[in-house]
Structure 1
Amino acid sequence: MKNKKILVWFRNDLRLHDNEMLVEAIAKSDSILPVYFFDPRYFDETRFGTAKTGVFRAEFLRGSLKSLRSAFRKMGGDILFVQGRPEDYLKELVERFDIAEVYHHREVAPEETLISDNVEDLLWTLKVNLRHFIGHTLYNKEDLPFPIKDIPDVFSQFKKKTERDAIVKSCFSSPESIAFVENQEWGEIPSLEELGFILNGNENFNGYPEGGEEAGLGHLKSLFAADSTIYLKNGKNNADKSGLSSQLSAWLALGCLSPRMVYWQVKDAESKFGPNIHFNQILLGLLWRDYFRFMFKKHGIAFFQEEKLENEVLYAAVEGDALDNWKLGKTGNPIVDKYMFDLNTTGFIPHIGRQLVATYLIHVQKIHWTCGAAYFEEKLIDYAAASNWGNWASIAGLSKDVKSKNSVDLNKQFKILEVEIPDQPSFA
């Protein structure tokens, strides 16, 4: 085809490094049209009365897109920003720019998968191919030692077999040059107000992590400097009490960082500094991300193993004061309240904090797990559908991994954290 143009539909893959979709689009076309859709469905209210996206994650997203636009502009191009659903605008874009193919990264959660299916159906009527890429995992599915349908449901088995028999591929290099489709109007990144947020003037983004590939790579590099906290704190007790976190998850969630880039940086640090418990924790976190994504790929909604889940969800959405107090950090339990305060004011709490507040909500307050998962979906800056809903289902005892329930012993953890609390039952 003469002057073949490919539309590159960006979703949670906001980077140039290790981006197979982008590399392939450049190689297979004469020019590309990068596009990002501000889909209103991601800024609506959910059935739980929560927001689909909270203000902290929205601002992190805006920063990540500013970074991506800046990277493209340095190469003499840009990215088109569209406020609306991709299904409503892709036909017009394909026809206006004479697009031959559309490339995108396919997600695994039900809502995101449905959007891909709708777009694929639309493009089929135009005789335009939607090419799918899987670029969110450490391991490519074709490199796993088993097909998707045979992936072990037990995490420990998945981890053992994958680490033993699969390989982590090297990263794709960032493109050195890109030919862009000619265009005059590229659109603007909407303000928070234009995305539907009502700001009261008390929002404080000072000291807040900056979104985008450049900031993510900078943070990753700083973790493995010889004087970094992760390098210096090598004791298990320190790790347990401090809740030390690499805090890479927000950049990973939006695809500003590739999990393979993180993996190889950890391996490089291990070669310089030797084994380190925090390095191991980062690699374990990457494996858990893969596990939940592959579980959703394998099982879909059946991963939750809960009969009549839709009815349970609708019922759960009407929970009363106990749920509100948990959200506001007013349970009377000091450590739960502290973590919920941090979540509400920063959009982030470490993994142990997430386990604690989830265990408390489900097993002490007896509130349906989906209420907590929906609240985390709104508040977390690093929200990723598979990891969030998968972790909550595990703590509720509903995941496919019956041998490894992702719950915690509250009394033990409160003792470790040296916090005095009222007597509470143990939920190990």
Structure 2
Amino acid sequence: MSEKIILVWFRNDLRVHDNEILLEAIRKADKVLPVYCFDPHYFQTTEAGNHKTGNIRARFLIESVANLRQNLRNLGGELVIAHGHPAELIPQLAEQYHISEVYHHREVAFEETGISEQVEAALWKMKLNLKHFIGHTLYHKEDLPFPIKDIPDSFNTFKKKVERDSAVRPCVQTPEAVMTPEIIDAGEVPTLEQLGLNEPIADPRAYRFVGGETMALQQLEQYFANKSTAATLKKGSSAASKLSPWLALGCLSPRQVYWELVKHEVSINSHPLMLELLWRDYFRFMFKKYSSKFYSPAGFKDNAPELATNQDELFDQWKNGQTGVPYVDACMHELKITGFLHNSCRQVVAAYLTKTLKVDWTRGAQWFEEKLIDYSPASNWGNWAYIAGVGNDPRENRYFNPKTAAELDPKGEYVRLWLNEEAAGDLAASA
């Protein structure tokens, strides 16, 4: 009798801890074949002339995939790294390694689900099954107090019902060992140059995010180690955690973060980090409910915002940090240099683009897609639609006044840091 081999297709779940598909494959099969595909779709140039994936996020991805390979090797396994379209590569590998079944985590955005459907159709022709798992959210879909189609459009209603009626499942255990078939060619981790991108410019003002599960768990540990008292923890800041890039690529499990909060006996429901996890869940479930409507200028309200006539000129001023509004410009410079922005900054610049400049909000969402190191489709497009007033906001004509930036930066320190090139030079000299 031939051995059973399951192919585990990694996408945005680049970890070995709390990874149900990996653990389930190990339990059900004699051997597993872990695979990651660098899909050229994500490294193309868009119609607007932007990179779909910018160099800062691409570097973080490369590091994360390399770390996943190392962690699998530490367990006795290996990660096959392939380059090309998954709908072509996965069936080829399935045939080459006599695969019995393919496992993967289900996505929600239409591009990602479209790729899954292509893979599923190709495998179906080979009489192979693509098994879907749910592993990107804090709350499992089946544990929600309502079906997806009835999820409240109000976040506050969603939050109250979930906190009252749902429970977070325990993390699944980390495998003790991974057995793979004899691998002929495991492939190489690409360089940025091979992906058509340049190395990011080093800047002493930029926090250096390093991709991978190992760094993610270290960052989580450091976040709690830096909080010396329970009182400080209760006032903890999700922004200070800087966990979102690792959460976006699945280097860190949302449940792992939750149970760390429980372990440290913080007030769960009022903690900013818990709020961040709930917003992530909410937008993913909203994408399941409304699908591609989130990509339409009219959102799911069938009423696109009024637009200015000189769209290109205004958008270029905004993206280049040349609006003349210091706080907005400082935020845009930080985004370009670091790939990261505090959520308050994101709200300010999004509101300014859509409400003051009256530029199509989808252009801003596309710019964030390229630049953000923690980009994920549901959170990015969901938040932009929310700010633009065409998404999940029960209040009509919502407006975040960019003048409130004075409250965010009362001494002007943030503006001076990101708009003063001499300050950046001084930092470089002292480094």
Specify if TM > 0.5: yes
Q: Which runs of 5+ in 2 are unaligned?
A: 413-431
Check whether the contact 1:171–1:260 (CA below 8 A) recurs between aligned residues: yes
Whole-angstrom distance in 2 between the partners of 1:222 and 1:405: 40
TM-score by length of 2: 0.88
Counterpart code for 2:375: Y
Output aligned runs, 1:27-426, within 5 Å: 27-199=27-199, 202-203=201-202, 208-225=208-225, 227=227, 232=232, 244-269=239-264, 271=265, 274-275=266-267, 280-303=271-294, 306-307=297-298, 319-403=311-395, 408-418=400-410
* Range with greater deviation from structure 2 (6-15 or 319-328): 319-328
The structure-2 alpha-carbon separation of the partners of 1:226 and 1:253, relative to structure 1 and needing over 3 Å to count, comes to closer
Q: CA deviation at 1:2?
A: 3.1
**Contact (CA 8 Å) 2:12, 2:249: kept in 1 or not?**
yes
TM-score by length of 1: 0.89
Distance in 2 separating the partners of 1:58 and 1:93 = 25
**Does the 8 Å CA contact 2:295/2:362 hold for their aligned counterparts?**
no
| Shift of residue 73, structure 1, vs aligned partner | 1.1
SS where residue 300 of structure 1 aligns?
Answer: helix
TM-superposed deviation, 1:306: 5.0
Amino acid at match of 1:39: D
Structure 1 residues 151 and 235: alpha-carbon distance in aligned structure 2, compared to 1, 3 A threshold: closer
Distance 2:295 2:249 in 1: 24
Question: Unpaired segments of 5 or more residues in structure 1?
Answer: 421-428
The answer to whether the 8 A contact 2:297-2:362 is kept is no
Q: What is the rounded CA distance, in whole Å, between the counterparts of 1:29 and 1:391 in structure 2? A: 40
Residue by residue over 1:79-122, the C-alpha shift from the partner in whole angstroms, topping out at 9 and shown as x without a partner, is 00111010122222111100010111111001001000111111
Q: What amino acid is the match of 1:147? A: P
Partner SS for 1:250:
helix
Change (3 A) 1:332 1:419: farther
* Cα shift at 1:298: 1.1
**Count of matched residue pairs:** 408
Alpha-carbon distance in structure 2 between the residues aligned to 1:230 and 1:325: 45
Whole-Å separation in 2 of the counterparts to 1:259 and 1:144: 16
CA distance in 2, matches of 1:170, 1:403: 36
**Alpha-carbon separation, structure 2, partners of 1:175 and 1:24:** 10
* Aligned residue number for residue 424 of structure 1: none
C-alpha deviation, 1:204, in angstroms: 5.2
Identical positions, percent: 49
Is the contact between residue 395 and residue 405 of structure 1 (CA under 8 Å) also seen in structure 2?
A: no
Give the residue type in structure 1 aligned to 2:262.
Answer: K
Letter matched to residue 73 of structure 1: R
Amino acid paired to 2:224: F
Tell me the distance in 1 between the aligned counterparts of 2:384 and 2:167. 29
What is the alpha-carbon root mean square deviation over aligned residues? 2.8
Does the CA contact (< 8 Å) of 1:362 and 1:368 recur in 2? yes
Q: Is the 8 A contact 2:57 2:372 kept in 1?
A: yes
Secondary structure of the corresponding residue to residue 6 of structure 1: strand
**Structure 1 contact 253–382 (Cα < 8 Å) conserved:** yes
Name the CA shift for 1:84/1:262 in 2 (closer, same or farther; >3 Å). same
CA gap of 1:255–1:317, structure 2 versus 1, over 3 A, is farther
Aligned counterparts of 2:60 and 2:338: Cα–Cα separation in 1: 11
